[in-house]
A and B are shown apart, each in its own frame.
Chain A
Amino acid sequence: TQLLEQSPQFLSIQEGENLTVYCNSSSVFSSLQWYRQEPGEGPVLLVTVVTGGEVKKLKRLTFQFGDARKDSSLHITAAQPGDTGLYLCAAAVTNDYKLSFGAGTTVTVRA
């Protein structure tokens, strides 16, 4: 059983459309991270959220941490082909010290 459930598993959209990726769990997290991975490379950190209800913006990407610190979302506005990749959420449960990853959402933005 995956600690972090990501949805959808795959997402294919046209350039200029918006998309949202979700990361959910029944556990409470001390912090949550979002990574983006391109083929043949390791994941690269996009953002870390720490406070319940926190919203962070990174250009066209908006990250939200749930009030109860059990879930998060990533919203991309006006997606571009360069946003194509595998998006992974990762988190540590408050009483644990190991980082767990979701299975990822593969995003394809068509030109």
Chain B
Amino acid sequence: DAGITQSPRHKVTETGTPVTLRCHQTENHRYMYWYRQDPGHGLRLIHYSYGVKDTDKGEVSDGYSVSRSKTEDFLLTLESATSSQTSVYFCAINQQGVGEKLFFGSGTQLSVL
């Protein structure tokens, strides 16, 4: 199994509070991705990174920001959480980008009340 750790695994928070989710990899892969998974929508890309300090937006980036200061860590921040951001968040990694196999973490279940 690819060495990907997501933390926390579960989180409950209140509307308007900031939340940061962490993805840590031990594979030294170049690309890291944040997806959210909602019933009926599958996985939707929030942001991705193609190197340290190199990030770009995905299809559902509004309300989210990311940072990657080290190869192994990719942080997803909800500046002011809303109920519509209740979801399961997955981090994924690969070395060569699109078209190559994605390795996924086990996910973070986030509930915004």
Contacts and interface: CB of A to CB of B under 8 A. Distances in A.
Size bracket of the B interface: 20 to 34
Given A98-B98, A103-B42, 5 more contacts: A42-B105, A43-B90, A45-B101, A90-B102, A96-B98
Given A88-B43, A103-B40, A103-B41, A33 B90 contact: no
Interface residues of A, number: 27
Q: Which of A43, A88, A92, A104 counts the most B-chain CB atoms under 10 A from its CB?
A: A43
Given A99-B45, A104-B42, A42 B98 contact: no
B44 interface: yes
A37 to B, nearest CB: 8
Contacts of B62: none
Interface of A: 2, 4, 6, 9, 30-31, 33, 35, 40-45, 48, 88, 90, 92, 96-104
A90 B33 CA distance: 14
Interface string B17-58: 000000000000000000100001111110010000000001
A99 B42 contact: no
B37 to A, nearest CB: 9
B95 interface: no
B59 to A, nearest CB: 7
A102 B43 CA distance: 7
